[in-house]
Amino acid sequence: MLEGCIELIKKKLPDAEIGDVQLIASDLTCTDYLSGTSSRERFFKYLEQAPPSFFKAELQKRKEVW
């Protein structure tokens, strides 16, 4: 699951550092998928439809916390 999420985000943000991609992927997987509120298919569909700006904003939020 996490590997698929990382690969998808790398496609959306090809210039992002791998650590940033891993941060977003890990957090989204934990909060949105492992919370039990979404199926695997629904989670990936959600990520696939999200624009790059979504991932940039999510990264910024997480960097402010970390």
Close Cβ partners of 1 (under 8 Å, ≥ 6 residues apart): 29, 33, 40
Residue 9 has a pLDDT of 96
pLDDT score for 35: 76
**Cβ atoms of 54 and 40 closer than 8 Å:** no
**pLDDT of res. 63:** 85
The residue ranges of the chain whose pLDDT is under 70 are 66
Q: pTM score, two decimals?
A: 0.85
Residues sharing a CB contact under 8 Å with residue 56, sequence separation 6 or more, in sequence order:
13
Residue 55 DSSP label? H
Residue 55: predicted pLDDT: 96
